[in-house]
Amino acid sequence: MAIIEVVDLVKRYDRKVAVDGVSFTVDEGEIFGILGPNGAGKTTTVECVEGLRSPDGGTIRVDGLDPRRDRAELRTRLGVQLQQSELPDRIRVGEALDLYSSFYRDPADWRELLDRLGLGDRARTEYRRLSGGQKQRVSIALALIGKPRVAVLDELTTGLDPQARRDTWSLVEQVRDSGVTVVLVTHFMEEAERLCDRLALIDGGRLVAVDSPAGLVSRVNDEQTVRFRPTGPLDLELLRELPEVSRVEQHGSRVVVTGGGNLPHAVTAILARNHVVAADLRVEQADLDDAFIRLTGHALTE
């Protein structure tokens, strides 16, 4: 069931059209990614969903509410991640959570929340003394303090080192597993591919596609490449005759076979039948990067 519905959203800043007819739905219980390059219109889109900006066109429903008209009620159902700079340096972690709890009728138990996010021993620590990853965890805690049904996390792992980024990803999965729908804004391909159940690709204010990461990849490319080094004589015509194969090339001692269907199986079966052993066998498939390039005509990051 859809918990967020966005239909034909348009948002302009003066003459600049930042969001240009974007439509998508977010299903309850999923991690839904909004992926696109800098300036694509991702933040503007989620700010409209959060009720922070008025759309110039289109309609939005979040858990049945109109984000502008029903702002007060929306606050109890939609948790928004705070930007790091919005907390005073000297506030202690526990004080911040206590303060934010007081904004809600029925807040979560913040001590339990800190424990769950691995910050149980940081309640008395000043915010400025936390590492980047810990600050991000505090921002997730603040997004969850009102026991929302949906949490919006914007550029959550920007500036984190790879380990902290991975830790944050597992936290986001935990949040989803606890029953909260997550909307994740990102310009990291790997993050989108690893975390999101479904993704909206946004480019130049327009929606390019909405699908699962695997679905996006399979849409643009069902071609695979098999590379190997035959350890004995091999007649390349045997490979070219296979219905799965579209191209066979020889690069020095290596053979590169391109095609579709179950290409790896077709190639290894014909080699086995001809008693040729394939050394250094590798199978390569298109990834989300390739999908993004094929769908938009350019790479996600230049």
Does 41 help bind ligand ATP (rule: CB under 6 A)?
yes
Cα–Cα distance measured from residue 11 to residue 20, given in angstroms and rounded to the nearest whole number: 7
**Which is closer to ligand ATP, CB of 41 or CB of 213?**
41
Does 42 help bind ligand ATP (rule: CB under 6 A)?
yes
Contact range with ligand ATP by CB under 6 A, out of 32-40, 94-102, 165-173, 256-264: 32-40
Question: Residue 90: how many CB atoms within 10 A of its CB?
Answer: 10
**Which is closer to ligand ATP, CB of 42 or CB of 176?**
42
When binding is defined by CB under 6 A, the residue of 4, 26, 40, 267 that contacts ligand ATP is: 40
Cα–Cα distance measured from residue 81 to residue 129, given in angstroms and rounded to the nearest whole number: 20
State the number of binding residues for ligand ATP (CB under 6 A).
12
Question: Per the structure block, which two tokens stand in for 25?
Answer: 């739905």
When binding is defined by CB under 6 A, the residue of 8, 13, 235, 253 that contacts ligand ATP is: 13
Does 39 help bind ligand ATP (rule: CB under 6 A)?
yes
When binding is defined by CB under 6 A, the residue of 33, 36, 146, 213 that contacts ligand ATP is: 36
**Which is closer to ligand ATP, CB of 42 or CB of 165?**
42
Of 177-196, binders to ligand ATP (CB under 6 A) are 187
Contact range with ligand ATP by CB under 6 A, out of 12-20, 123-131, 134-142, 161-169: 12-20
> DSSP E strands: which ranges in the chain?
2-13, 16-27, 31-35, 57-62, 78-80, 150-154, 181-186, 198-203, 206-211, 224-230, 245-251, 254-259, 278-285
CB of 14 to ligand ATP, least distance (A): 7
CB 105 within 8 A of CB 145: no
Q: Which bin fits 276, alpha (ψ -120 to 50), beta or left (φ > 0)? A: beta
